[in-house]
Chain A
Amino acid sequence: NAGVTQTPKFQVLKTGQSMTLQCAQDMNHNSMYWYRQDPGMGLRLIYYSASEGTTDKGEVPNGYNVSRLNKREFSLRLESAAPSQTSVYFCASSPVGSYEQYFGPGTRLTVT
Chain B
Amino acid sequence: AQSVTQLDSQVPVFEEAPVELRCNYSSSVSVYLFWYVQYPNQGLQLLLKYLSGSTLVKGINGFEAEFNKSQTSFHLRKPSVHISDTAEYFCAVRGTSYGKLTFGQGTILTVHP
Q: Which residues in A have some Cβ–Cβ distance to B below 8 Å?
A: 4, 31, 33, 40-45, 48, 50, 58, 90, 92, 94, 99-101, 103-106
A99-B90 contact given A94-B99, A106-B43, CB 8 Å threshold: no
Report the interface size for chain B: residues with CB under 8 A from the other chain. Answer: 23
When chains A and B are docked, how far (Å) is the Cα of A48 from the Cα of B49? 21
| 8 residue pairs A–B, Cβ–Cβ below 8 Å | A33-B100, A41-B105, A42-B103, A42-B106, A99-B94, A103-B36, A103-B45, A106-B41
> B44 near A103 (CB under 8 angstroms)?
yes
Q: Does B13 contact A (CB under 8 A)?
A: no
A109 to chain B, nearest CB (A): 15
> B90 near A103 (CB under 8 angstroms)?
no
When chains A and B are docked, how far (Å) is the Cα of A7 from the Cα of B26? 35
A112 to chain B, nearest CB (A): 21
4 closest Cβ pairs, A-B complex = A103-B43, A42-B103, A103-B44, A43-B103
Q: Which residue of B lies closest to A99 (CB)?
A: B32
**Which residues of the partner chain A approach B57 to less than 8 Å between Cβ atoms?**
none
> A105 near B90 (CB under 8 angstroms)?
no
Instruction: Tell which of A4, A40, A99 touches B9, judged by Cβ atoms closer than 8 Å.
Output: A40
**Which residues of the partner chain B approach A105 to less than 8 Å between Cβ atoms?**
41-43
A43-B90 contact given A90-B44, A100-B46, CB 8 Å threshold: yes
> B43 near A101 (CB under 8 angstroms)?
no
Q: Which residue of A lies closest to B33 (CB)?
A: A99
Q: Does B51 contact A (CB under 8 A)?
A: yes
**Which residues of the partner chain A approach B49 to less than 8 Å between Cβ atoms?**
99-100
B5 to chain A, nearest CB (A): 10
Q: Which residue of B lies closest to A44 (CB)?
A: B103
B63 to chain A, nearest CB (A): 16
Q: Does B87 contact A (CB under 8 A)?
A: no
Instruction: Tell which of A4, A40, A92 touches B106, judged by Cβ atoms closer than 8 Å.
Output: A40
When chains A and B are docked, how far (Å) is the Cα of A41 from the Cα of B42? 17
